[in-house]
Amino acid sequence: MDGRSGRSRPVATSSGSTSSGATSSGATSIRLTEVTKVFAGSTEPAVDRLSLDIDAGTITALLGPSGCGKTTTLRMINRLVEPTAGTIEIDGVDILGRSPQELRRSIGYVIQQVGLFPHRTIASNVATVPDLLGWDRKRTAERVEELTTLVGLDHDLLSRYPDELSGGQQQRVGVARALAADPPVLLMDEPFGAVDPIVRSRLQDELLDLQSKVRKTIVLVTHDLDEALRIADRIALLNVGGILEQVATPDDLMSAPANDFVASFIGDERGLRRLSLKTVSGLRHHQGPVVADSADLADVEAVLAAEMSEWLGITVDERFVGWVHADDARAAFRAHGRLDTDALQVPAAQVQPDSTLRAAMELIMNANSSAAVIDDDGRFGGVVTLEDIRRSLGAQSP
């Protein structure tokens, strides 16, 4: 039993795989070892002996209910909150061995309210840390221009002030400012919580695109499970009191919750959420009832029989051109001695390799047919069926 919490301490499970495409060197960038925080006037820890390794170049989401210590944990990494006990290392160096000011200038920090200086222009806001580090004007100006492009801001906005920008634009400025000195670590505390859902989704996509370019070690606090699933490589799920219940990839968290708390927190729709995590490209596609336009009647009959299908898909130069009913295909051979693309119908369901399995499932169910996988150049890559999707979830799916 844990003497302070009065409960058995759970074993947090970990997985080293990634889910959103990020690659890791395998090196640990941030290591928390038995980190505890007890605030003055409280008898219970806000964070209780938390041990967590965060790999370099990945996004780790700190997730959990209110009071679980996720923001406290984030702020201990840059010493905005001092730990009561335990150690925090960045690249093997104990953060307590550095001055708080030096440490914070080497770590990017983005908060929900953005925290821009209202009396300074956007360019001046982005240049905050370079100015503190004593960069010359030319180097700073070049970095501001570079970051403006990187985060997708219009360069005409640099001379404006924060209150002239939308919430989404201000958030981009906040990210640019955090990246100004090219820090290896970026801390983000509910960074998209103050914008509407449409802008929030767009900013999440932009963060993933940005991460594919800069490969920072990002620690992100969120209370939104769907946000964590969408953008994190690993999720550390905390319980009230800063107790780590599980750390895993999004798919592993959904498919194999470590205990009842985790299962309850992620809810009953974890099967549907897993469908949104996986894409069509991860399936083993099969050819299906599809032939090239040069196929002869024997080949056509063999494919239709093997697939037990009444419809035949046709490709021309590896590009999928549509479906034809089996009877029409046979009639074309009787009339012309070959397949005739004049009778083709537009595919009732077609998906791209980066389509989610949830989107593919909805298309297949609405069309009552399998879906053809078509890439951006129109090339055919196989067919996807409901059975393919079911199998992809594996035996652990609910």
CATH number for the domain that contains residue 373? 3.10.580.10
- Name the pairing type of β-strands 185-189 and 311-316: unpaired
18 in any annotated domain: no
**Domain shared by 197 and 323, yes or no:** no
47 in any annotated domain: yes
- Tell me which of 8 and 267 has the higher pLDDT: 267
**Domain shared by 263 and 308, yes or no:** no
**Residue 19: in which H helix or E strand, if any?**
none
Does 249 score more than 70 pLDDT? yes
**Closest of 345, 331, 347 to residue 384, by C-alpha:** 347
Q: Can you give the pLDDT at residue 396? A: 44
**Domain shared by 354 and 256, yes or no:** no
Q: Where is the domain boundary, 277, 304, 333?
A: 277
Q: Looking at the 3D structure of the chain, how many domains does it have?
A: 2
Q: Can you give the pLDDT at residue 343? A: 72
202 in any annotated domain: yes
Q: Where is the domain boundary, 251, 277, 303?
A: 277
**Domain shared by 258 and 321, yes or no:** no
pLDDT digits (tens, 9 = 90+) for 87-125: 999 999 999 999 999 999 889 998 876 678 889 999 999
Q: In the structure, how many helices (H) and strands (E) does the chain have?
A: 15, 16
**Closest of 348, 285, 287 to residue 322, by C-alpha:** 348
**Domain shared by 86 and 219, yes or no:** yes
- Name the pairing type of β-strands 217-222 and 234-239: unpaired
Residue count of the chain:
398
307 in Cβ contact with 383 (< 8 Å): no
Does 373 score more than 60 pLDDT? yes
Q: In terms of C-beta density within 10 A (0-12 exposed, 13-18 middle, 19 or more buried), how is residue 121 classed?
A: middle
**Domain shared by 264 and 300, yes or no:** no
Please tell me the pTM assigned to this model.
0.74
**Domain shared by 191 and 272, yes or no:** yes
293 in any annotated domain: yes
List, in order, residues 6 or more apart from 256 with CB less than 8 Å away. Answer: 13, 248, 396
> What number is the average pLDDT over the span 255-272?
88
Q: Can you give the pLDDT at residue 15? A: 38
Q: Can you give the pLDDT at residue 398? A: 40
pLDDT digits (tens, 9 = 90+) for 187-219: 999 888 767 778 788 888 888 988 998 899 999
CATH number for the domain that contains residue 44? 3.40.50.300
The token pair at 359 is 């989107």
Separation of alpha carbons 192 and 114, rounded Å: 9
Q: Tell me the residue range of the domain where 47 lies.
A: 28-106+184-277
Does 81 score more than 80 pLDDT? yes
368 in any annotated domain: yes
**Closest of 338, 342, 222, 229 to residue 291, by C-alpha:** 338
**Domain shared by 206 and 267, yes or no:** yes
**Domain shared by 243 and 341, yes or no:** no
The token pair at 218 is 């990002």
Q: Can you give the pLDDT at residue 228? A: 93
The helix/strand/coil state of 346 is coil
Separation of alpha carbons 364 and 323, rounded Å: 15
232 in Cβ contact with 21 (< 8 Å): no
Please give the radius of gyration of the chain, using alpha carbons only, rounded to the nearest integer.
26
Q: Can you give the pLDDT at residue 19? A: 38
Q: At which residue do the structure tokens 């037990």 appear? A: 308
5 in any annotated domain: no
CA 297 to chain centre: 47
Per-residue pLDDT band for 348 (boundaries 50, 70, 90) equals low
**Closest of 14, 20, 8, 60 to residue 256, by C-alpha:** 14
**Domain shared by 360 and 270, yes or no:** no
Q: In terms of C-beta density within 10 A (0-12 exposed, 13-18 middle, 19 or more buried), how is residue 241 classed?
A: middle
361 in any annotated domain: yes
pLDDT digits (tens, 9 = 90+) for 115-173: 788 899 999 999 998 988 899 999 999 999 998 888 888 999 999 998 898 888 888 89
pLDDT digits (tens, 9 = 90+) for 16-38: 333 343 444 457 799 999 999 99
280 in Cβ contact with 357 (< 8 Å): yes
Q: Where is the domain boundary, 247, 277, 307?
A: 277
Amino acid identity of residue 36, one-letter, is T
Mean pLDDT score of the chain, rounded to an integer?
Answer: 85
**Domain shared by 82 and 101, yes or no:** yes
Q: Can you give the pLDDT at residue 18? A: 35
Q: Can you give the pLDDT at residue 7? A: 33
273 in any annotated domain: yes
254 in Cβ contact with 266 (< 8 Å): yes
**Domain shared by 221 and 292, yes or no:** no
Amino acid identity of residue 56, one-letter, is A
DSSP letters for 240-280: TTTEEEEEE-HHHHHHS-SSHHHHHHH-TTHHHHHHHH-BG
320 in Cβ contact with 350 (< 8 Å): yes
Q: Can you give the pLDDT at residue 111? A: 84
Does 52 score more than 90 pLDDT? yes
